[in-house]
Chain A
Amino acid sequence: MDLMKIFLLALLVNNIVVMRFLALCSYIGMTSDVGQSVGMGFAVTFVTVLATAATWPIYNYILVPLNLTFLQILIFILVIASLVQLVEFYLKKNVPGLYSAMGIYLPLITTNCAILAVTFENISFKYNFIESIAYSVGVSLGYLLAMVLLAGIRDRMKTSPVPKFLQGTPILFMATALIGIAFMGFSGLIK
């Protein structure tokens, strides 16, 4: 039950993009096409769960006993960067189908702040390992949801009359504000 609560909180109530403003660069940059946004969303989901599975044990079994917690930022970013590299090598060699589907998104993911934020929050919220995994799945599926929503809206926007002073990027943020208002309706979902 608790796991479900963590998952839904991360997915809807505190949606990473529209309620917490993380990962906005890729949210604006990668949503010009629905297929692309789905690819990016799944690539982020995959890497976030892996990164959580790697950083949580490193923090709790290596950094804490050695009193090195102040190196958290440095170590986490290095772990994520090298993890992304390893995943890329592995996919290229063993799963070429998957690699051609999401390979181009992998280098972009290293600087996606959602992933780093999730790994920090797993620590600061004091989640145990299973809860951390549930949280990371919720957050990254929330990211996928927001990406697909905006990509769909952008498709429709191509044929609609946008006010002149909002053309280009301003209208995207306006649309996000409206999605955000809709998402605020979820806030009473979980007590």
Chain B
Amino acid sequence: MKKLYKVFRQGLIFENPLLMLMIGLCSAIAVTTSVSNGIGMGLAMTFVLLFSEVIISLFRKLIPSAIRIPIFIIVIAAFTTMVDLVMKAYFPDLSKSMGVFIPLIVVNCIIMGRVEAFASKQNLVSVIADSLGMGLGYTWVLIGLAAVRELLGNGTLAGIQIMPSSYQPILFFILPPGGFFVFSLFIAFNIWLKKKMEASQRTKELAAKKEAA
């Protein structure tokens, strides 16, 4: 249980796909002009990640390693198609505002990377923990980015007016350069957080060693 929690936690901060591994960036910056887009994209991504990892983990002993990449691509593309069609049918507005980025989940390096590095080697339970951790790690960054950008650039959160009406929205944050700007600060913050956590862990270990001595 503890091991599963550790796998799950990896994706949230230490190996956060967006902030630490720097993969799957395209959709993350592009759709985060509003919080609802961020949530939609995060959930779509988590869904595809979870099911592709589960399927590939179940069949990992049957897939010949020479042709594993094409097989992975077909599995991922199948789940992406499902998400795309479901979004178009039930959330047409959301699907329209995200445009080409839903079909592009298929070439998102996070999924390919996790499937290749993790799901093709591990059993079902730890794969579920890993995919949920990575998916939520992706989703929280998306929601965080979107919250900052929507609040400063539009004065709203998920469409609800938050800032007082006298607030003059800073359009910069909604425009593309603003996305890069906020994302850059997010990475800097995450690197700082990681350093801080590692340092506190080290002092704890040192203290434990001293006590033992």
Contact = CB atoms under 8 A, between A and B. Distances in A.
B29 to A, nearest CB: 5
Nearest to A19: B176
B135 to A, nearest CB: 18
Nearest to B30: A21
Question: Which 3 residue pairs spanning A and B have beta carbons closest together?
Answer: A180-B177, A173-B184, A177-B180
Interface stretch (B39-47, B57-65, B74-82, B196-204): B74-82
B25 A166 contact: no
A166 B188 contact: yes
Given A21-B25, A168-B191, A71 B100 contact: no
A113 B107 contact: yes
Interface of B: 22-27, 29-30, 70, 73-74, 77-78, 80-81, 84-85, 100, 103-104, 106-109, 112, 175-181, 183-185, 187-188, 191-192
Contacts of A177: 177-181, 184
Contacts of B183: 173
Given A111-B112, A117-B104, A21 B29 contact: yes
B17 to A, nearest CB: 11
B58 to A, nearest CB: 20
Contacts of A61: none
A145 interface: no
Contacts of A72: 103
Interface of A: 18-25, 28-29, 70-74, 77-78, 81, 110-113, 116-117, 120-121, 124, 165-166, 168-174, 176-178, 180-181, 184
B184 A28 contact: no
B176 A18 contact: yes
Nearest to B191: A168
Tell me what chain A mostly uses at the interface: helix, strand, loop, or mixed.
helix
Nearest to A15: B176
A24 B25 contact: yes
Contacts of B78: 74
Given A73-B80, A77-B107, A111-B107, A170 B26 contact: no
B73 A81 contact: yes
A80 B184 CA distance: 32
A165 B177 contact: no
A174 B26 contact: no
Nearest to B175: A184
Contacts of B187: 168-170, 173
Nearest to A114: B26
A180 B100 contact: no
B103 A28 contact: no
Contacts of B27: 21
6 contacts: A22-B104, A25-B26, A81-B73, A120-B100, A120-B103, A165-B192
A168 B81 CA distance: 36
